Amino acid sequence: LRVLRSIRFSSRFGFKMSDELIDACRHPQVHKALSHKVSLERIGTEIDLMMHAKNPVLAFRLIDQLELGPIVFSTNESKRLSPEEVKCLLPKSIDCMERAFDIFQEASATEKYFADEMSHDDESAIQQKRILLYSAFLLPFVGAEEVQLSSRRKSRSVEKVDEVTKSVLVYKLKLRLKDAVRAHLLHWTAESFLVQAERIGAKG
C-alpha cells in the first residue's frame, strides 16, 4: 500500500520521486504484494484520495510510469478488462482524463456563474470534478460498443450501467454504485451528443 501512498503524496506536494524509489516501486515483489496482500477496498480508497487531489492527473501518470495500472484497474474476475488491455489503453485514458481536467479548470476560471456555484458548495464541485475525471479516464476502456444508446428516456437502473465502468469502479475499486451510474450517464450523454451532431451534420 505504501507504493500508492508515495504516489499520492508525491503528486499532492509536488515531490519528485528518487530513482531508487521508482525502481523499488517497479519491483515485481512489490507488484505481487500489492496484488495479493492489499485489499481492494484499501487500493480503492487510495485511488479515490488521489482523485480528490488538486491535480489527479499527476498521480495517474505515476501509476502508469510505475507499471501499476494492470494491478490497480484490470478486472480479471469479471473478464471485462484484462491486464494487457489496461497496459495498452492506460496512456490514452490518462490523456482523456487530462483533457477533462483542463476543461474543468478552464470552465471554473472563465465562467462566472460556474465559479460562483462552486464557491457556494466546494464539496459538490469536488464531487463533480471527481466523477467527470473517472468518466473521462474510463472512456477508452468502455469503447463505443459498450455505451448504451437509445432514443428512449435514459434509465438510472443498475442494468443500464456499462459493464466496464461497473467492473472497475464498483467491483475493483469498491466505490459506490452511484458513482458508476453517474460516470456511465456522462458516457451516455457524450455518445448521444455525438450521434445527434452527426445526424445534424448529415442533414446540413
Classify residue 75 by its DSSP letter.
B
Q: What's the rounded Cα separation, in Å, for the pair 143 and 107?
A: 26
Are the C-beta atoms of residues 60 and 69 closer than 8 Å to each other? no
Helix axes 28-37, 2-13, angle to 10 degrees: 110
Instruction: Provide the pLDDT for residue 191.
Output: 74
State pLDDT tens for residues 84-97.
889 999 999 999 99
pLDDT above 70 as % of the chain:
77
State the number of CA atoms in the 13 A half-sphere of 6 facing the CB: 18
> How much is the pTM?
0.81
Model confidence at 142, pLDDT cuts 50, 70, 90, reads confident
Residue 79 clears pLDDT 80, i.e. is over it: no
Identify which of 143, 37, 138, 106 has the alpha carbon closest to the alpha carbon of residue 3: 37
- Supply the pLDDT for residue 154: 46
